[in-house]
Amino acid sequence: MTRICVIGGGAWGTALAITAARAGAVVTLWARDPKLSAAMQRDRVNDQLLPGYDLPDGITVTSDMALAVRDADAILLVVPSQAIRDIGERVHAVAASGVPVVLASKGIERDSGKLLTTVVEEAMPGHPIAVLSGPSFASEVAAGHPTAVTIASADVAHDPTGSLAARLSVTLATPTFRPYMSDDVVGVEVGGAVKNVIAIACGIAKGLGFGTNTWAALITRGLDEMKTLAEALDGRRETVTGLSGMGDLALTCSSEQSRNMSFGKALGEQHSKEELLSNRRSVVEGVVNAVSVTDLAAQLGIEMPICSAVRSIVADGVEITDALQALLGRPLKAEPNALNVVLAHPTEENVPEYVSEILS
């Protein structure tokens, strides 16, 4: 693949465009805002969302979608998760039939509870689909820091070397950007959707003054929630232990470079959700996905207690203290889940007093 179109002029879309150009592709980057696209094309930098990283000569920036997708060998969708259906339909209207689509957005559609690959299938029928996900802060990718991601497509299972994921891996690989292939599209997608919600939980814990014990518990049990959801959707649990699951979770939950982690930390420090979201130019995906993930879990009849606690805080108006009490007072369970042991918490009645004391 020699001609790549990237739909989305945010930090991640810009970083992927830079990567594709470094790999030797001719790249067209579509940004919704004509003023932004004109400034990027003129100044060769995305000063608004990814400042400090020059655009290679192989990138053309435009706000004309038909021009952006013309002659593209593959189209990377890199827009907020809740815009995927609308943007996908717009791309489908002007793109050549059968051009592969690479989903580089993470989440679950809010109203339908559908994975984004399903949304793309409905919005862009006839286009083969791959998913790109993994631990990848945009600024570090743009800076050329060694980065590994997963690219998944269903055809890897029967044609590993000729699959869409393989062709994309060869197209995007550079000395510092290393794609790994997978055939578990669902497992890769679930990791990307859930990790942002767990990152908010880790941020809240940090904002409350909790230490690394709490972080380790949240990230480990959050990983188990990822595995449970992936398995319920016919994905594989082991996929979630890879780059698109554990890798992305560890990254997003460990650094305030993560919008979700920093948002959660500010919540834990008693800033209001409305204040925090009104001051942000970029989307905090975990806020929307906390609702869509837990709604989907309810439909499937599975428990995701950490995600549910985050949802209660960011969407249902529950105070952090009350959500923490509910989470800490849950029954004791076994690890692994297959043991199927549930014990009443022996000091459940003491949890409110403990929480009140530690947060005072």
Identify whether the C-beta of residue 252 lies closer than 8 Å to the C-beta of residue 106. no
What are the angstrom distances between the C-alpha of 40 and each of 69, 79, 143, 290? 18, 17, 17, 33
Using the structure block, give the residue that is written with the tokens 């990237």. 6
CB atoms within 10 A of CB 103: 27
- DSSP bridge pairs for 3: 26
One of 106, 114, 195, 265 is an active-site residue; which one?
195
pLDDT the model gives residue 281: 67
- The pLDDT of residue 278 is 82
Distance, in Å, from the CA atom of 259 to the CA atom of 280, rounded to the nearest integer, reads: 9
Pairing assessment for the beta strands 332-333 and 342-343 based on DSSP bridges: antiparallel
User: In this structure, what are the phi and psi dihedrals at residue 351, rounded to the nearest 5 degrees?
Assistant: -60, -45
309 contacts: CB under 8 Å, gap ≥ 6: 201, 323, 324, 326, 327
Torsion sign, CA atoms 181, 196, 198, 115: negative
pLDDT at residue 251, rounded to an integer: 97
Which domains are seen in the chain, by residue range? 3-183 (3.40.50.720), 193-358 (1.10.1040.10)
pLDDT tens for the chain, 360 residues long, are 999 999 999 999 999 999 999 999 999 999 999 999 999 999 999 999 999 999 999 999 999 999 999 999 999 999 999 999 999 999 999 999 999 999 999 999 998 999 999 999 999 999 999 999 999 999 999 999 999 999 999 999 999 999 999 999 999 999 999 999 999 999 999 999 999 999 999 999 999 999 999 999 999 999 999 999 999 999 999 999 999 999 999 999 999 999 999 999 999 999 988 888 887 767 789 999 999 999 999 999 999 999 999 999 999 999 999 999 999 999 999 998 889 999 999 999 999 999 998 887
DSSP one-letter code for 348? G
CB 204 within 8 A of CB 268: yes
Question: Is the alpha carbon torsion for 43, 49, 51, 56 positive or negative?
Answer: negative
- Residue whose pair of structure tokens reads 């021009």 in the numeric block: 67
pTM value > 0.75: yes
Q: Which residues pair with 4 in a beta bridge?
A: 27, 74
* 195 given a catalytic annotation: yes
Dihedral angle at the C-alpha atoms of 184, 190, 192, 194, nearest 10 degrees?
A: -160
Q: What is the pLDDT of residue 359?
A: 87
3-state secondary structure of 108: strand
E strands in the chain: 3-7, 26-30, 45-46, 50-54, 59-62, 74-77, 101-103, 129-133, 147-152, 177-182, 332-333, 342-343
Q: Which among 216, 205, 304 has a CA at the least distance from the CA of 260?
A: 205
User: Which residue, 127, 234, 133, is CA-closest to 182?
Assistant: 133
Which residues, listed in sequence order, are joined to residue 179 by a DSSP beta bridge? 149
pLDDT at 100: 98
